[in-house]
């Protein structure tokens, strides 16, 4: 058997001349590996940081949370948890309470007002970790001073500074400083409501915690040293649920956060993986061209007695080595990029990330790079089997184009399988990986069809009437060894990613923009108490505004459905996910029915349908049905989704607990609600004449075009009725835009690597035909063409290529964006033509500049010099 | 050494089958020197390709040093070539990316044999010892063909096939190449089969087969 030494030696020698071309193969792999290593290594850092800082995330050993004031039983439980045990000489633990609620805050000295998230704290929270403030050390002074610590964002929103007085309800607080870092908090969340920390003892003075206030209560418990938290959680979870409270431990937080961050990292890694796969396409096309160039050499080797397997091995080895170098460089670049990621992720992470290169991520990235290089190189390399030694005698013997044989098909299958496997490995989930790779497959198929279509379309309907220079340029697109398909695939896919991302972002944001007719409300006041109704109207009128009729809100819970009482706690086997102050979403995932059964409903009563809802089942009660007949249940209308979660149908009886009193109701009809509109929408709407005397609050909506007017009316409302909170749609919109833009930035950053890979593939494609292009260019010059004419031919070619790649990718992105809007986000879709046009131009500019830059030599060469080289 | 029986080769050209070789039968003894001559298109090169196992005949059999080429796979034929067959081409067919010495080394390395010293000796033998590290592009046509010759003889082949070995060379250079081939033929006992246009060259062979329209029209041994 011929030793591998021959293969090694030939691979080395053979690479000497082709290295320039082989470097492109290296470059194609580099960008993808760099992106993968950066994101995966960073994800690893996140996990490590969460594990290290787990205790600080919660700030305590365990927390007990509720949406209502703790019952005496809960208070007693907490007392027992921290009580010292003389028998075992266990010392006392500690407890800190926190009440959280939204409120309006303003600084009397300045003009603004802002909806804030008040956090009233006590008793030395946090027990673990530290809240950093500016000036430093102000956190501790909260225990002695009745002041406030606020988010820096609030100061800039109110035009205030440290030392100013902050008005919160009826109380006034000196602003002691700003909070810079709170362990476990995600920075961007403050965009919806900056945090204001005040001592819990000042709460009564604010007068804000009234009936109906949406407050969250939490007790943070530090157990005595050596007392494990987990058994306590297991022991009391059921009991606490009876009291509508949840319990969490450090371990819960750590697990949830690790899961969430790992998932985030894995999915972002998929975007990076795309860059690597596009690099694979670049490798395949580079190898394809390379082999065509090496036909003579391969024929000679075959003639001299090398087997096809040996020849295959020689070139595969070259590809692997170059791919390996590319992976190595990519890993180094990736480690560099990793240092930048914390900046991109700023505000999204609840932990301080300590950035260190992760050996596992580096090895994985390099391994994937090598795998992709090998698999994508192997496919075109199989063609060496068909190169006949006869070519040494006859130049006209073409490598038989013969039908693909079993080996080809198996390799193709292996390649497809590899893509699926890579995706599955990256995302860590079988189905998601498979779906993702199928999606990639479809997108590539479409781009491939577009490129093939262009080539055969040009061939069939060649625009013979065009001036010669354009014809020559277009003809270049289907010249022998053209790379049209590869370039369209690689550039087009990068652009497709960016365009899809942009479309999704655009359409998500669009729904928060005020309607075009300018009459829809953009300001909402709620928590209006019955005795404030007239006053609120006066405040609005003083700003020449008028609100919609006041909408009453009555809070209630379900007691029984069809006579079956609703259990306070779910059956033990479905308690995997606990609910709590931040547990609404968690509980939903545990069991929708349970979530719908136990939640607090904020319902209203009226006799008309609103513009944002549509009757889908049953009949609406007309204005005539003022009140239920004596002894009959009240008519109630449910949101159709919640009805199916509750598993109720028309005619079913639901008994509600409204402020301690039982209200019987019968489901009269179902509505479909457009929740995306800025409006008051309710799961349950009662007929009039039932809830009028129940404890209730009111909401009103206002339209105010001028931001100044909106600011002023909110301020006067806050001064007169501090308990009335306002939501300014434009602020919500700003917050959402800010968060979406920041999130999109991260994805866009990673998607950029696909475009970089596309550009590298383009460079490869241009240099693949470099020699024949130079010869042609020089020949044209010899025949009398000016440099400008040669340049115009090149421009024609790259313009056509760029336009095709851009149009194909924009079209594909529009289809993908539309599908996502329709099925995932369930929203109407709009196409931002202007911006997509901009993207098209951008891609065109990229293609032209890369193409022309690589063709500079053609323009520079003097005719004679090249002819001599022949 | 070489025996072919009823050799026929057809190609499809312009949609019609074209018979390039028709019923070729001959045998060549070990150490012989055969020149295949004939006008362009008479099938010379096709015959050479078949004899060397670079292609398969449409029908007929070829036996090379006792091996029936028809029964061997492509890779088995490659292995046979690496052991017993040398080649010289009209267009030299040196691998442009390898130096002269490396070109000579390739066949030896394919057999897993030490190559460096032997390649140097062969280059010395053809008078190019001092050009061993030059690339083909840095050598003249005659020098390239001498390297090709050194490569062909590096494995001490049982048989050497040469396709118009002097076709791209001037008369004087061509003569030195042929002289070299004859010397090596004598020294190593290598069987020579060459295809040529060149009457002077053909005259130096011990046997001549003339082809016309794919048939043997004259065989000096017959």
Nearest CA-CA distance, residue B133 and chain A, Å: 13
Range with the poorest average pLDDT among A359-363, A453-457, A652-656: A453-457
The answer to whether the CB atoms of B48 and A301 lie below 8 A apart is: no
A-chain CB neighbours of B107 within 8 Å are 304-305
Q: Count of CB atoms within 10 A of residue A234's CB?
A: 11
Q: Which of B48, B78, B150, B152 would you mutate first to test chain A, the one with the most A CBs within 10 A?
A: B78
pLDDT tens digits for A63-72?
Answer: 999 988 888 9
CB-nearest to A390 from B54, B97, B98 is B54
B-chain CB neighbours of A16 within 8 Å are 97
Residue A349 φ then ψ, to 5°: -110, 135
Grade residue A592 by pLDDT with cuts at 50, 70 and 90: very low
pLDDT tens digits for A505-562?
Answer: 787 777 666 554 567 788 889 889 889 999 999 999 998 888 888 899 999 989 999 9
Dig out the tokens for A706 from the structure: 């001028």
Residue B189's region, left for phi above 0, alpha for psi from -120 to 50, else beta, is left
B58 touches chain A (CB under 8 A): no
Q: Count of CB atoms within 10 A of residue A409's CB?
A: 10
For A604-618, give one letter per residue: b (16+ CB within 10 A) or e: bbbeeebebbeeebb
Q: Residue A300's pLDDT is what? A: 86
Q: Which residues of chain A are at the B interface, by a Cβ-Cβ cutoff of 8 Å?
A: 1-3, 5-6, 9-10, 13-14, 16-18, 296-297, 299-310, 388-390, 392-394
B-chain CB neighbours of A400 within 8 Å are none
Q: Residue A582's pLDDT is what? A: 38
Q: Residue A176's pLDDT is what? A: 94
Return the percentage of chain A with pLDDT > 70, whole number: 90
Dig out the tokens for B41 from the structure: 């298109």
CB-nearest to B78 from A9, A14, A305 is A305
Average pLDDT in the A719-745 region? Answer: 84
Cα–Cα distances in angstroms (integers) from residue A149 to residues A153, B145, B190, in the given order: 12, 89, 99
The answer to whether the CB atoms of A303 and B54 lie below 8 A apart is: yes
- Among residues A681, A677, A636, A674, the alpha carbon closest in space to that of A656 is found at A636
* Statement: residue A807 has pLDDT above 50: yes
Residue B109, judged by CB atoms within 10 A of its CB (0-12, 13-18, 19+), counts as: buried
Q: Find, in chain A, the residue whose alpha carbon is nearest to that of B76.
A: A307
Grade residue B75 by pLDDT with cuts at 50, 70 and 90: confident
Grade residue A568 by pLDDT with cuts at 50, 70 and 90: low
Range with the poorest average pLDDT among A425-429, A591-595, B160-164: A591-595
Q: Find, in chain B, the residue whose alpha carbon is nearest to that of A299.
A: B93
The answer to whether the CB atoms of A393 and B89 lie below 8 A apart is: yes
Q: Contact at 8 Å (CB) between A327 and A366?
A: yes
Query: Which residues does A291 contact at the CB level (< 8 Å), separation at least 6?
Result: A298, A315, A380, A381, A383, A384
* CA dihedral (A46, A51, A57, A58) positive or negative: positive
A-chain CB neighbours of B78 within 8 Å are 302, 305-308, 389
CB-nearest to B82 from A14, A304, A308 is A304
Residue with tokens 């010899």: A782
Q: Contact at 8 Å (CB) between A559 and A662?
A: yes
Residue A509, judged by CB atoms within 10 A of its CB (0-12, 13-18, 19+), counts as: middle
* Statement: residue B77 has pLDDT above 80: yes
Average pLDDT in the A400-422 region? Answer: 81
B106 touches chain A (CB under 8 A): yes
Radius of gyration of chain A (CA): 34
Q: Count of CB atoms within 10 A of residue A662's CB?
A: 10
pLDDT tens digits for A677-705?
Answer: 778 889 999 998 888 888 899 999 998 88
B-chain CB neighbours of A388 within 8 Å are 54-55
CB-nearest to A303 from B81, B97, B111 is B81
- Among residues A223, A1, A204, A216, the alpha carbon closest in space to that of A93 is found at A223
Q: Count of CB atoms within 10 A of residue B18's CB?
A: 11
The answer to whether the CB atoms of A393 and B102 lie below 8 A apart is: no
B157 touches chain A (CB under 8 A): no
B-chain CB neighbours of A295 within 8 Å are none
Residue B72, judged by CB atoms within 10 A of its CB (0-12, 13-18, 19+), counts as: middle
Number of residues written out for chain A: 870
Nearest CA-CA distance, residue A312 and chain B, Å: 13
* Statement: residue A319 has pLDDT above 80: yes
* Statement: residue A316 has pLDDT above 80: yes
H or E element: which one contains A566? Answer: none
Q: Residue A281's pLDDT is what? A: 84
B-chain CB neighbours of A307 within 8 Å are 75, 78-79
DSSP B171-200: HHHHHHHHHHHHHHHHHH--EEEEE-S-HH
Q: What is the largest CA-CA distance in chain A?
A: 109
Distance separating alpha carbons of residues A440 and A443, to the nearest angstrom: 5
- Among residues B213, B219, B214, B207, the alpha carbon closest in space to that of B29 is found at B207
* Statement: residue A586 has pLDDT above 70: no
The answer to whether the CB atoms of A309 and B96 lie below 8 A apart is: no
B195 touches chain A (CB under 8 A): no
DSSP A219-281: EEEEPPTT--SHHHHHHHHHHHHHTTEEEEEHHHHHHHHHHHHHHHHHHHHHHHHHHHHHHHH
The answer to whether the CB atoms of B106 and A308 lie below 8 A apart is: no
H or E element: which one contains A556? Answer: strand A551-561
Distance separating alpha carbons of residues B146 and A405, to the nearest angstrom: 40
Q: Residue A686's pLDDT is what? A: 92
Segment A425-434 long-range contacts (CB within 8 Å, at least 24 positions apart):
A425/A364, A425/A368, A426/A36, A426/A266, A426/A269, A426/A270, A426/A273, A426/A368, A427/A266, A427/A267, A427/A269, A427/A270, A428/A262, A428/A266, A429/A266
CB-nearest to A393 from B79, B112, B163 is B163
- Among residues A327, A357, A362, the alpha carbon closest in space to that of A341 is found at A357
Mean pLDDT of chain A: 83
Q: Residue A514's pLDDT is what? A: 54
DSSP A9-22: HHHHHHHHHHHHHH
- Among residues A524, A576, A568, A569, the alpha carbon closest in space to that of A550 is found at A524
Residue A517, judged by CB atoms within 10 A of its CB (0-12, 13-18, 19+), counts as: exposed
Q: Contact at 8 Å (CB) between A313 and A7?
A: yes
Q: Residue A18's pLDDT is what? A: 67
B68 touches chain A (CB under 8 A): no
Distance separating alpha carbons of residues A58 and B176, to the nearest angstrom: 92
CB pairs under 8 A between A and B: 91
Distance separating alpha carbons of residues B151 and B21, to the nearest angstrom: 30
B-chain CB neighbours of A301 within 8 Å are 95, 106, 110
Q: Residue A784's pLDDT is what? A: 64
Q: Find, in chain B, the residue whose alpha carbon is nearest to that of A13.
A: B98
Range with the poorest average pLDDT among A310-314, A583-587, A803-807, B57-61: A583-587
B176 touches chain A (CB under 8 A): no
Angle at A176 between CA A174 and CA A180, to 5 degrees: 140
The β-bridge partners of A102 are A117
Q: Count of CB atoms within 10 A of residue A284's CB?
A: 26
Instruction: Specify the pairing of strand A62-66 against strand A216-222.
Output: antiparallel
Grade residue A146 by pLDDT with cuts at 50, 70 and 90: very high
Query: Which residues does A438 contact at the CB level (< 8 Å), separation at least 6?
Result: none
Query: Which residues does A419 contact at the CB level (< 8 Å), separation at least 6?
Result: A277, A437, A440, A441
B-chain CB neighbours of A407 within 8 Å are none
Portion 76-95 of B in contact with A at CB < 8 A: 78-83, 85, 87, 89, 93-95
The answer to whether the CB atoms of B54 and A389 lie below 8 A apart is: yes
Average pLDDT in the A699-726 region? Answer: 89
Q: Which of A18, A303, A386, A399 would you mutate first to test chain B, the one with the most B CBs within 10 A?
A: A303
Q: Count of CB atoms within 10 A of residue A839's CB?
A: 18
Q: What is the largest CA-CA distance in chain B?
A: 52
């Amino acid at each position: 058997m011929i030793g591998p030494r021959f293969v090694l030696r030939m691979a080395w020698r053979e690479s000497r001349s082709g290295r320039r071309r082989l470097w492109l193969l290296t470059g194609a792999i580099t960008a993808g590996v760099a992106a993968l290593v950066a994101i995966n290594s960073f994800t690893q850092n996140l996990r490590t940081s969460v594990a290290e800082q787990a205790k600080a995330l919660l700030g305590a050993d365990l927390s007990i949370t509720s949406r209502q004031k703790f019952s005496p039983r809960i208070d007693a439980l907490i007392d027992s948890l921290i009580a010292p045990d003389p028998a075992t000489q266990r010392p006392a633990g500690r407890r800190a309470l926190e009440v959280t609620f939204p409120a309006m805050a303003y600084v009397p000295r300045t003009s603004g007002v802002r909806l804030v998230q008040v956090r009233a704290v006590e008793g030395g929270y946090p027990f673990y970790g530290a809240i950093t403030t500016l000036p430093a050390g102000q956190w501790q002074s909260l225990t002695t001073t009745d002041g406030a610590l606020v988010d820096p964002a609030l100061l800039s929103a109110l035009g205030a500074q440290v030392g100013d007085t902050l008005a919160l309800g009826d109380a006034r607080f000196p602003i002691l400083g700003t909070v810079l870092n709170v362990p476990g908090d995600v920075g961007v969340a403050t965009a919806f409501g900056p945090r204001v920390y005040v001592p819990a003892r000042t709460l009564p003075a604010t007068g804000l915690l009234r009936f109906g206030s949406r407050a969250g209560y939490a007790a943070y418990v530090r157990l005595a040293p050596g007392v494990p938290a987990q058994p306590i959680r297991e022991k009391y979870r059921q009991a606490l649920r009876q009291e509508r409270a949840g319990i969490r431990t450090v371990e819960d937080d750590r697990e949830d956060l690790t899961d969430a961050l790992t998932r985030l990292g894995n999915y972002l890694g998929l975007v990076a993986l795309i860059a690597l796969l596009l690099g694979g396409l670049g490798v395949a096309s580079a190898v394809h061209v390379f082999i065509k160039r090496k036909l003579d050499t391969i024929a000679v080797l075959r003639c001299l007695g090398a087997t096809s397997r040996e020849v295959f091995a020689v070139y595969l080895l070259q590809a692997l080595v170059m791919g390996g170098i590319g992976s190595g460089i990519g890993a180094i670049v990736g480690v560099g990029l990793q240092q930048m990621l914390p900046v991109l992720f700023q505000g999204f992470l609840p932990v301080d990330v300590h950035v260190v290169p992760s050996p596992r991520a580096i090895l994985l990235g390099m391994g994937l790079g090598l795998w992709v290089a090998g698999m994508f190189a192997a496919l075109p390399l199989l063609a060496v089997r068909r190169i006949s030694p006869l070519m040494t005698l006859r130049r006209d013997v073409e490598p038989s184009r013969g039908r693909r044989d079993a080996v080809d098909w198996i390799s193709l299958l292996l390649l497809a399988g590899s893509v699926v496997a890579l995706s599955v490995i990256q995302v860590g989930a079988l189905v998601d990986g498979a779906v993702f790779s199928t999606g990639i497959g479809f997108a590539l198929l479409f781009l491939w069809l577009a490129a093939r279509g262009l080539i055969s379309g040009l061939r069939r309907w060649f625009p013979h009437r065009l001036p010669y220079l354009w014809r020559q340029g277009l003809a270049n697109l289907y010249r022998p060894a053209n790379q049209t398909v590869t370039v369209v695939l690689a550039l087009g896919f990068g652009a497709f990613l960016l365009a899809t991302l942009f479309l999704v972002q655009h359409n998500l944001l669009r729904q928060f923009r005020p309607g075009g007719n300018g009459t829809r409300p953009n300001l909402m006041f709620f928590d209006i108490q019955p005795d404030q109704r007239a006053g609120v109207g006066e405040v609005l009128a003083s700003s020449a505004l008028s609100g919609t009729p006041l909408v009453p809100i009555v809070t209630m819970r379900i007691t029984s459905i069809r006579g079956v009482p609703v259990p306070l706690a779910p059956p033990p086997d479905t308690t995997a996910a606990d609910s709590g102050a931040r547990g609404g979403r968690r509980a939903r995932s545990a069991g929708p029915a349970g979530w719908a059964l136990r939640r607090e409903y904020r319902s209203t009563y009226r006799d008309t349908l609103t513009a944002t809802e549509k009757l889908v089942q049953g009949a609406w009660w007309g204005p005539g049905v003022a009140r239920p007949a004596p002894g009959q249940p009240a008519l109630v209308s449910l949101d159709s989704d919640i009805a199916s979660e509750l598993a109720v149908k028309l005619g079913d009886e639901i008994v509600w607990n409204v402020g301690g009193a039982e209200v019987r109701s019968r489901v009269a009809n179902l509505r479909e609600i457009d929740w995306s509109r800025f409006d008051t929408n309710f799961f349950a709407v009662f007929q009039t004449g039932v809830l009028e005397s129940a404890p209730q609050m009111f909401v009103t909506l206002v339209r105010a075009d001028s931001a100044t007017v909106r600011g002023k009316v909110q301020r006067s409302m806050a001064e007169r009725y501090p308990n009335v909170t306002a939501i300014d749609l434009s602020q919500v919109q700003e917050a959402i835009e800010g968060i979406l833009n920041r999130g999109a930035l991260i994805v866009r950053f990673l998607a950029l690597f696909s475009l970089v890979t596309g550009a590298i593939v383009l460079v490869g494609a241009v240099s693949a035909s470099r020699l024949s292009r130079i010869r042609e260019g020089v020949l044209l010059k010899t025949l009398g063409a000016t440099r400008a004419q040669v340049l115009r031919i090149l421009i024609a070619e790259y313009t056509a290529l760029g336009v095709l790649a851009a149009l194909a990718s924009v079209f594909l992105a529009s289809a993908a964006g539309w599908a996502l809007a329709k099925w995932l986000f369930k929203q109407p879709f709009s196409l931002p033509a202007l911006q997509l046009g901009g993207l098209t131009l951008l891609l065109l500019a990229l293609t032209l500049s890369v193409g022309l830059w690589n063709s500079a030599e053609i323009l520079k060469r003097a005719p004679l010099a090249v002819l001599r080289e022949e | 050494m070489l025996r072919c029986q009823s050799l026929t080769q057809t190609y499809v050209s312009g949609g019609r089958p074209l018979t390039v070789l028709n019923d070729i039968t001959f045998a060549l003894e070990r150490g012989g020197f055969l020149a295949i001559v004939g006008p362009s298109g008479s099938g010379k090169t096709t015959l050479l390709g078949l004899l060397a196992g670079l292609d398969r005949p449409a029908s007929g059999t070829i036996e090379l040093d006792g091996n029936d080429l028809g029964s061997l796979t492509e890779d088995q034929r490659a292995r046979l070539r690496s052991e017993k067959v040398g080649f010289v081409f009209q267009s030299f067919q040196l691998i442009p990316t390898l130096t002269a010495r490396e070109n000579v080394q390739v066949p030896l390395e394919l057999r897993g044999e030490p190559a460096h010293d032997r390649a140097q000796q062969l280059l010395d033998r053809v008078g190019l010892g001092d050009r061993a590290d030059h690339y083909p592009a840095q050598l003249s046509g005659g020098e390239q063909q001498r390297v090709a010759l050194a490569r062909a003889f590096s494995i001490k082949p049982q048989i050497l096939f040469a396709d118009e070995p002097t076709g791209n060379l001037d008369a004087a250079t061509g003569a030195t190449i042929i002289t070299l081939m004859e010397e090596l033929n004598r020294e190593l006992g290598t069987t020579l089969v060459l295809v040529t246009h060149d009457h002077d060259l053909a005259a130096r062979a011990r046997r001549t087969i003339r082809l016309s329209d794919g048939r043997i029209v004259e065989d000096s041994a017959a």
